[in-house]
Amino acid sequence: MPAPEGWWVGGIVDGESARMARTMEEAAASVPDGATVSLSLPVSAVLMERMRLPSTDREELGGMVVLQLEKTLPYSGEELTMGFDIISQEANECDLLAIAVSNEQLDGLCEPLRSRRKLPAQVAIFAIQLAARFPAEEVLALIFREVDATILAVAQQGKLVAAHVCAATDQKEFLEELPRLLLGLELEGTPVNFTKVVVEREIAAWMPGLREQFGNVPMERVSLDAPLSAGPVNLVPDGWTQEKKKEAQSAKVRDWLAVAGIIYLICLLAAAAYIIWLQHQVSQVDLKVAAATPDINSIDTRKDRWDVLAPATDPNRYIVELLNQINHGIPSDDLHVTRFTQLTPSDFEVDGEAPTASLAIQYFDSLRNNPALKAFTLSSDPPKLLDNDHAQFTIYGKL
């Protein structure tokens, strides 16, 4: 939304005046990222009402101000942002200036800032900020231009106590309206015995005519481009505060996600590096295996040769020695070995007959427990009973 016709939008960046902009869109685009934005509202954009309330507690005063303003304004409390500045206080009561602004108006004005996530952290009243520059003046008149109007404001010891908007935009019209404005202030109970009159530098040419109105009151020109303090009133809506908190939380989440993404990427790179290292190690092992394969094949060949020659070189595998051990293990003279067969150098069979099956099993156990035959794996079928009640058995030996 462009600034209302006649508004000038400018700012202070790092203590220096920024260039002036004609629209809020243009001003929002020129705000650097991360800059703290403060908004100063003109008198015509807010409602000001001077009140005297029977309390000195700020929390109680806030509630009273809301009730008083809701009586005079066609808005509910949720549609307004309100604040107040204490002008003076006594034992049990305060003299204060209450201020209210429409949230809808603020939202519309600051939409270009919201779209760029640069909502103001401070919403002040320019006239209040300007008055605060003169804390030593007992009764001060401030005359300056705002939008398409001229403002006559009154301050006491740095506190704004009243501000009237005059539609006059040139010297002649304003000087004609000035007596009526001063009379209105006096009727409201606002002091007009000024100790100084401050005039905006842009309308300093009006000062001779103003002297005729104010007499011998000292006058001073002032530049409105100089930095102003934040002021005692901040009209930032609660909705903006919540919005900025959500944005801050979202920013934290984005930062954490970015950190998590970096950590994940580092883990991926580390895993990729580890896989490459493993592949290198595997390739080194493959090279060693390939280099050792001829030696392994040679050893296997020699082993096969020794296995072939083992029956001839190992005394425990001589046929005579095998027969000796087979006969040595016979538990009784009633058990007879009827046949010994060496199928291969590594296999043999023993057939026999025993008067009982238990004696045949006892013979098999004696051979299996014989240390001289430990190189062989012995097995046996269950003994077969014959017609004469004898048991026929076969024992197998295999390397």
Alpha helix positions (H), 314-381: 319-328, 357-368
| Whole-number Å distance between alpha carbons of 337 and 71 | 128
Quote the pLDDT of residue 159: 93
Give per-residue pLDDT as tens, 319-333: 888 888 888 889 888
Task: Find the mean pLDDT for residues 262-276.
Answer: 93
Rg over alpha carbons for the chain, rounded to the nearest Å, is: 54
Quote the pLDDT of residue 308: 65
Quote the pLDDT of residue 127: 92
CA distances from 198 to 125, 201, 206, 227, 261 (A): 18, 9, 12, 17, 59
Q: Which residues contact 162 (CB under 8 A, 6 or more apart)?
A: 48, 50, 153, 154, 185, 188, 190
Assess whether pLDDT exceeds 70 at residue 186: yes
Quote the pLDDT of residue 15: 43
Give per-residue pLDDT as tens, 163-184: 999 998 899 999 999 999 999 9
8 Å CB contact between 148 and 169: yes
The gap from C-alpha 108 to its chain's centroid, in whole angstroms, comes to 30
| Whole-number Å distance between alpha carbons of 363 and 393 | 10
Give per-residue pLDDT as tens, 114-135: 888 888 888 999 999 999 999 9
Read off the pTM.
0.60
| Whole-number Å distance between alpha carbons of 93 and 58 | 11
Give per-residue pLDDT as tens, 66-86: 888 888 777 776 788 888 999
SS3 content of the chain, % helix, strand, coil (to 5): 45, 25, 30
Assess whether pLDDT exceeds 80 at residue 17: no
Helices 207-214 and 171-187, interaxial angle, to 10°?
30
Give per-residue pLDDT as tens, 199-238: 999 999 999 999 998 989 999 999 887 777 878 889 899 8
Task: Find the mean pLDDT for residues 11-26.
Answer: 58
Strands 196-200 and 140-146, bridge-based pairing = parallel
Q: Which residues contact 118 (CB under 8 A, 6 or more apart)?
A: 28, 31, 35, 37
| Whole-number Å distance between alpha carbons of 61 and 99 | 13
